[in-house]
Structure 1
Amino acid sequence: MDKTDTFDLQEFLPYLLNQAAETASDGFQKIYKDRYGMLRTDWRVLFHLGIYGRMTARDIGRTAQVHKTKISRAVARLEARRFLLRQEDETDRRVEHLTLTPAGQAAYRDLRGVAEAYDAELVASLDPQEVAVLRKALLHLSRR
């Protein structure tokens, strides 16, 4: 195969970020899927409620940068598993407030511990300064 194009896909930042994200999330995905049958959006909703407490689906979607349809489906799956409760807003019936049930809180605490250990494992081969620079750069790019 003769390479005539000089574009280096392996150095293209969006490609690298995607490759890193897929590689990094695969191991954690296996855990939350095997333990709780969750999909990616499910654990993200669970974590938002575990960290921030009572939220609306719209707030979660905005914070997590996930489309409202995916959030709605995740909320329905988590509700079916009895991990969260919906409570209609007293002033606006179109709005529902979401909170974790005791089972949802237990699942969150379990997965939070796994996430912390997994995060530490991911950065174990980097020195602390590299980790700090990486986190800062990724935060900056995600907020563009």
Structure 2
Amino acid sequence: MDTSLKLQLDRYIPALINFFSNKMSNGASQLYAFLFDMGVTDWRILSLLAVEENIPASRICHVIGLDKSAVSRSLAKLQERGYIKMTVDKKDSRLKKNTLTSAGLIMYEKMYQVAKEREEKILEVLSDEDQEHLIRILNILNCEINDINEFFIEKYIQK
């Protein structure tokens, strides 16, 4: 196949972020499964619940960017293992809110130690200044991605 339209994968930002994210997730999945019998989605949910208490699955989906079915499966597993507690919202009985239990907090703290060690090892190839630039840039892009997605949905899908 001959085309003049070839991506430069070593310069195409969506690919670079995706490749890195996939490799990070795969490595974390193997490690967390072996050490804790948990998956990377479970870790993401535990870590969010350590930051925000009493939140519904929809909030977890929004913050982490995962689909509802993956979050629902993980929440059911975490609840079954006693790591989270689901309670019905007092204002809206259709809404279930999730919070860490004491066992969930202990598991979170164990996983946190490994996650932070792994992050430090990954970032050690960057100077402190480059690490700060990376964090700043990723936060800027993360803040904009929902608007960008909506723009292209409106442009190409909802004509």
In 1: Cα distance, 2:41 partner to 2:101 partner? 18
In 2: Cα distance, 1:130 partner to 1:60 partner? 29
Q: CA deviation at 1:18?
A: 1.1
In 2: Cα distance, 1:87 partner to 1:25 partner? 30
SS of 1:43's partner is helix
Q: Identify if the C-alpha distance between structure 1 residues 12 and 140 changes in structure 2 by more than 3 Å, giving closer, same or farther.
A: same
Q: What residue number does 1:83 align with?
A: 83
RCO greater where, 1 or 2, for CA within 8 Å and sep 6 or more?
Answer: 1
AA partner of residue 85 (structure 1): K
Q: Is the 1:24–1:122 Cα contact (8 Å) retained in structure 2?
A: no
Alignment TM-score, normalising by the size of structure 2:
0.80
Q: Is the 1:48–1:60 Cα contact (8 Å) retained in structure 2?
A: yes
1:61-80 mapped onto 2 (5 Å cutoff): 61-80=61-80
Q: CA deviation at 1:3?
A: 7.7
Unmatched runs of 5 consecutive residues or more in structure 2: 145-159
Number of positions where the alignment pairs a residue of Structure 1 with one of Structure 2: 143
Is 1:17 aligned to residue 17 of structure 2? yes
Unmatched runs of 5 consecutive residues or more in structure 1: none
In 2: Cα distance, 1:94 partner to 1:113 partner? 36
Q: Percent identity at matched positions?
A: 27
AA partner of residue 24 (structure 2): A
Alignment TM-score, normalising by the size of structure 1:
0.88
Is 1:46 aligned to residue 23 of structure 2? no
